[in-house]
């Protein structure tokens, strides 16, 4: 779509970004009757048709799923997270450069569907332990909402996307609506029994994950291939491409325009609201303007913030909606590089079937109560998996030849468990996203600068994670236990959030309790940039719930004539 004439450039709503939250915004707005334009900076990806590697074997690839030296040199960030089979869904560092004030791995999915095609699919609710954390600890600003404001929307989202999992009746990790859980294997069950025996406050449960254990909404079930990041032709997990975008399209109200790089949000000084957006066609370099009554900005945290920072006007000289001076600041990402690994020499007569696409979860057990104080603020959960060692883990240094050597290689090794802490990162003002004043990309937009580091609170937490993980493995009879600290840079967990935070006061936050920009009520932001604190849970379920809630509110306000 290279040109849209004047009769086609106005819509009821514009959604920027087609990932998890953009897809949800498109579905909700279209189903509520709004003619909606969905803008995606990357290429189109059609469910099933555009998953070319989904059914290939390792030997079908030139480099057997590995990255070449050239790929690693040209795309160090992409090659750290993606290989030969799935790099087509990750943006190239070389084609889309950014500036790192300190090392930061920024993974991006520039295509229709965004990172919903490659996300980890873990789905956990936040609780009031999380929504009240900033207030209780006297840091940053208080969330403008509590769990009761979002509980019904968590219900709504879970029932739609399909989440497999198990209820555990924990106040700090609320239960939801789940399909039958996937099954722990024998070593994970053994570890779970040991943890329960040694500490009543801790438990090990199967991950709550948006992989379908039975057919759901004409999708799935999951085939236990664990090839999710290639795109799933079975619709075995939730993505924009398999679920929300087809639903939005079915209404007849959706227009999707790929290759549409949003340059800025247009602000009308007289109307005191946004009237539309200005884009650059990423193929032709032509500029277009599109107009709408409301705008949802869901380009993913850092890109969303860059759009706002680049949207300069007389009213907003420091970036769209940036009266507070907080836009771009308070960048957070979970740390997940500290934990432990151990070997268990029992259960040699047992194995498992298939490749389960998720691990286990040990929910947060630190700083749950006022009497439970540790040397750090916040908490962490542990995520991991148990498996029998494969030949590639034991072949280095293995001696011999012939039949006996082959037998050694093909006999499964001992059981092993790897687990690491997904830890909370506090919202530090110093951790920020900004725009370069002198370097631009090939479309003429300022390069994005990222300045992020984990601080002392996170480092103390990482030490506790290692010690705690080692103790649990030791209590369960594991041997050859090795604590680890990978020292991965920020961004490695791909949970960036917080740069346009929600709050009660326009002087200290960018968004209100309904994800509206304080100073421009017809602009909503519901991706990770809206987060006021990070908690330790995987955040995508919360993004989706906030999006559905904001869409309902936006349409209600439109009907009242308030937008």
Per-residue pLDDT reduced to its tens digit, 494-542: 999 999 999 999 999 999 999 999 999 999 999 999 999 999 999 999 9
d(CA 451, CA 430): 8
- Token digits for 131? 């929504």
Interatomic CA distance for residues 76 and 424, integer angstroms: 26
Burial-class residue 412 by CB neighbours within 10 Å (0-12, 13-18, 19+).
Answer: middle
Q: Which two tokens stand for residue 481?
A: 């236990």
Q: Is the pLDDT of residue 391 over 80?
A: no
Give the confidence band of 4 by pLDDT, cuts at 50, 70, 90. very low
* Average pLDDT rounded to a whole number, residues 100-111: 98
Looking at residue 295, its pLDDT comes to 98
The rounded distance, in Å, linking the Cα atoms of 97 and 380 is 32
Q: Is the pLDDT of residue 251 over 80?
A: yes
Residue 3 has pLDDT above 90, yes or no: no
Mean pLDDT of 286-301: 98
Q: Whose CA is closest to 36, among 48, 21, 25? A: 25
In terms of pLDDT, which residue wins out, 206 or 397?
A: 206
At residue 105's C-alpha, the angle toward residues 102 and 106, to 5°, is 115
Whether pLDDT at 363 is above 80: yes
Q: What is the DSSP letter of 388?
A: E
Q: If 0-12 CB within 10 Å is exposed, 13-18 middle and 19+ buried, where does residue 510 land?
A: buried
| DSSP 8-state symbol, 243 | I
The pLDDT value recorded for residue 398 is 78
Closest C-alpha among 493, 419, 503, 502 to residue 458: 493
Angle in degrees, 0-180, between the axes of helices 540-559 and 147-161, rounded to the nearest 10 = 100
Q: Mean pLDDT for the chain?
A: 96
Read off the pLDDT of residues 122-135 as tens digits, 9 standing for 90 and up: 999 999 999 999 99
Give, in order, the Cα–Cα distances in Å from 45 to each of 113, 114, 257, 280, 386. Answer: 7, 9, 12, 20, 34
User: How far lies 344's CA from each of 355, 358, 361, 465, 480, in Å?
Assistant: 20, 21, 19, 20, 9
pLDDT band at 372; cut points 50, 70, 90:
confident
**Nearest-angstrom CA–CA distance, 402 and 260:** 59
Confidence label for 313 from pLDDT (cuts 50, 70 and 90): very high
Following DSSP, what letter does each residue of 431-442 receive, concatenated? SEEEEEEEEE-T
pLDDT at 356: 98
Q: What are the tokens at 492?
A: 């490695």
Beta strands in 465-519 (DSSP E): 479-485, 516-517
Residues above pLDDT 90, as percent of the chain: 94
Residue 409 pLDDT level (bands cut at 50, 70, 90):
confident
| Least confident window among 3-7, 77-81, 106-110, 259-263 | 3-7
Residue 158: is its pLDDT beyond 50? yes
pLDDT band with cut points at 50, 70 and 90 for residue 7: very low
Residue 94 CB coordination number (10 Å): 12
Poorest-confidence range of 10-24, 60-74, 389-403? Answer: 389-403
Tell whether the model's pLDDT for residue 6 goes beyond 80: no
The whole-number average pLDDT for the span 190-212 is: 97
What pTM was computed for the model? 0.97
Taking 70 as the threshold, does the pLDDT of residue 2 lie above it?
no
* 203 has pLDDT over 90: yes
Q: Which residue has the higher pLDDT, 179 or 372?
A: 179
Q: Is residue 2 a contact partner of residue 528, using CB atoms and an 8 Å limit?
A: no
Confidence at residue 8, expressed as pLDDT on a 0 to 100 scale: 60
């Amino acid at each position: 779509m290279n040109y849209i004439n004047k009769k086609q450039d106005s819509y009821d709503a514009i959604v920027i970004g087609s990932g998890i939250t953009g897809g949800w915004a498109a579905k909700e707005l279209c189903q509520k009757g709004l003619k909606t334009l969905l803008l995606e900076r990357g290429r189109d990806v059609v469910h099933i048709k555009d998953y070319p590697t989904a059914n290939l074997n390792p030997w079908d690839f030139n480099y057997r799923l590995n990255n070449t030296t050239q790929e690693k040199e040209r795309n160090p960030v992409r090659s750290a997270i993606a290989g030969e089979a799935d790099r087509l869904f990750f943006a190239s560092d070389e084609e889309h450069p950014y500036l790192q004030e300190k090392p930061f791995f920024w993974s991006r999915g520039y295509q229709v569907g965004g990172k919903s095609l490659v996300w980890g699919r873990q789905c956990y609710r936040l609780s009031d332990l999380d929504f009240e954390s900033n207030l209780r600890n006297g840091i940053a600003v208080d969330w403008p909402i509590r769990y009761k404001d979002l509980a019904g929307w968590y219900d709504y989202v879970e029932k739609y996307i399909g989440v497999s999992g198990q209820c555990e009746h924990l106040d700090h990790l609320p239960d939801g609506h789940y399909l039958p859980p996937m099954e722990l294997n024998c070593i994970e069950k053994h570890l779970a029994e040991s943890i329960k025996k040694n500490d009543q406050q801790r438990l090990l449960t199967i991950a709550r994950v948006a992989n379908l254990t039975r057919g759901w909404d004409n999708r799935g079930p999951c085939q236990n291939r664990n090839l999710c990041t290639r795109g799933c032709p079975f619709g075995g997990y939730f993505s924009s491409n398999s679920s929300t975008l087809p639903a939005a399209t079915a209404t007849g109200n959706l227009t999707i325009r790929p290759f549409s790089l949003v340059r800025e949000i247009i602000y009308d000084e007289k109307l005191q609201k946004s009237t539309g957006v200005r884009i650059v066609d990423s193929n032709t370099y032509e500029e277009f303007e599109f107009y709408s009554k409301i705008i949802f900005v869901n380009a993913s945290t850092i890109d969303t913030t860059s759009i706002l920072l680049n949207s300069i006007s007389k009213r907003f000289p420091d970036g769209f909606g940036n009266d507070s001076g907080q836009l771009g600041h308070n960048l957070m990402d979970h740390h997940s590089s500290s934990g432990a690994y151990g070997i268990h020499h029992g259960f040699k007569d047992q194995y498992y079937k298939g490749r389960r696409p998720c691990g286990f979860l040990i929910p947060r057990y630190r700083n749950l109560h006022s009497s439970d104080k540790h040397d750090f603020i916040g908490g962490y959960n542990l995520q991991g998996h148990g498996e029998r060692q494969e030949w590639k883990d034991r072949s280095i240094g293995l001696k011999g030849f012939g039949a006996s050597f082959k037998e050694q290689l093909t006999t499964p090794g001992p059981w092993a468990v790897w687990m690491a802490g997904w830890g909370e990162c506090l919202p530090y003002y110093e951790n920020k996203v900004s725009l370069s004043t002198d370097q631009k990309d090939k479309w003429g937009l300022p390069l994005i600068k990222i300045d992020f580091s984990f601080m002392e609170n996170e480092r103390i937490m990482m030490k506790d994670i290692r010690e705690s993980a080692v103790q649990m493995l030791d209590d369960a009879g594991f041997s050859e236990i090795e604590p680890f600290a990978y020292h991965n840079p920020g961004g490695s967990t791909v949970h960036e959030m917080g740069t346009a935070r929600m709050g009660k006061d326009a002087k200290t936050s960018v968004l209100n309790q309904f994800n509206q920009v304080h100073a421009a009520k017809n602009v909503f932001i519901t991706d990770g940039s809206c987060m006021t604190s990070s908690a330790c849970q995987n955040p995508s379920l919360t993004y989706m719930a906030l999006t559905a809630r904001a869409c309902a509110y936006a349409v209600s306000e439109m009907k009242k004539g308030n937008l």
